[in-house]
Each structure stands twice: as structure tokens, then as C-alpha cells.
């Protein structure tokens, strides 16, 4: 559980934090406040995880070492969990979240239309 930036109680669940964004914020179980992780933070965690896994797999293949592959998986998993537990939640109000959701859907619709007609 993460501390809610609104009420400071541990009311935001870990899976909700991992999937939170401006357009889909996590909700506190105590106060109902909405919060999200910055896109740059979640992207950095994902990049660390993938680079560690792919780099470890490359080293393991190049060196022919199963131990290196296992170490890469352990480092990637441990780092991922550690970073998600330390990430900061940013408070957001409901109107801003709804607006971000609408803008996201509009951008997706525009991208699909451009892909179909270009």
C-alpha cells in the first residue's frame, strides 16, 4: 500500500499505482482521492526492467552462462519492485482526470483515422 497524497494514509493499492496515469488515476480507499504516477517515472521503470533483461540475456548468451541469465532476471525483478515502491504519487482532481481521459481517447481516434486514411 502506498501513502495517499491527499490524506497521508496507506490507502492506495500497489497494482493501482502500477497502472495509474493522468487519464486513469489510482483511488485511495480511505478518502477517495485520486493520484497518479508521472508518465516519465513509469516509463523509466519499464526501460530499466527491459534493458536489464535484454542486456542480461545478451551477456548470458555471449558468455554461455545460465547464472548470468538468472542474475539478470533477479536484478530486473528486484529493481522493478523496489522502484515501484519508492515512486511518488501526484494528486489529481476528478475534472482533470476526466479531461485527460477524453484527450487520450481523442488522440487515439485521430491516430486510428490517420492510419486508416493515409
| Res 37: pLDDT | 95
Q: For residue 16, is pLDDT > 90?
A: yes
Binned at pLDDT 50, 70 and 90, residue 112 comes out as very high
| Res 118: pLDDT | 79
Contact 45, 84 (CB under 8 A): yes
The residues near 20 (Cβ < 8 Å, ≥ 6 apart) are: 26, 35, 36, 37, 89
The model's pTM: 0.81
pLDDT in tens, 55-110: 999 999 999 999 999 999 999 999 999 999 999 999 999 999 999 999 999 999 99
Computed on alpha carbons and rounded to an integer, the radius of gyration of the chain in Å comes to 19
Give the separation between CA 8 and CA 25, rounded to whole angstroms: 17
| Res 6: pLDDT | 94
In the predicted model, what is the mean pLDDT of residues 17-36? 94
pLDDT in tens, 31-70: 999 999 999 999 999 999 999 999 999 999 999 999 999 9
Amino acid at each position: 500500500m502506498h501513502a495517499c497524497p491527499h490524506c497521508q494514509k496507506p490507502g492506495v493499492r500497489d497494482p493501482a499505482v502500477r497502472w495509474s496515469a493522468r487519464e486513469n488515476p489510482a483511488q485511495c480507499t480511505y478518502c477517495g482521492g485520486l493520484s497518479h504516477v508521472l508518465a516519465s517515472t513509469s516509463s523509466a521503470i519499464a526501460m530499466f526492467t527491459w534493458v536489464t533483461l535484454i542486456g542480461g540475456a545478451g551477456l548470458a548468451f555471449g558468455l554461455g552462462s545460465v547464472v548470468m541469465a538468472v542474475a539478470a532476471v533477479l536484478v530486473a525483478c528486484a529493481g522493478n519492485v523496489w522502484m515501484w515502491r519508492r515512486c511518488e504519487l501526484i494528486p489529481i482532481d476528478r475534472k482533470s482526470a476526466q479531461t485527460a481521459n477524453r484527450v487520450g481517447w481523442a488522440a487515439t481516434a485521430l491516430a486510428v483515422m490517420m492510419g486508416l486514411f493515409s
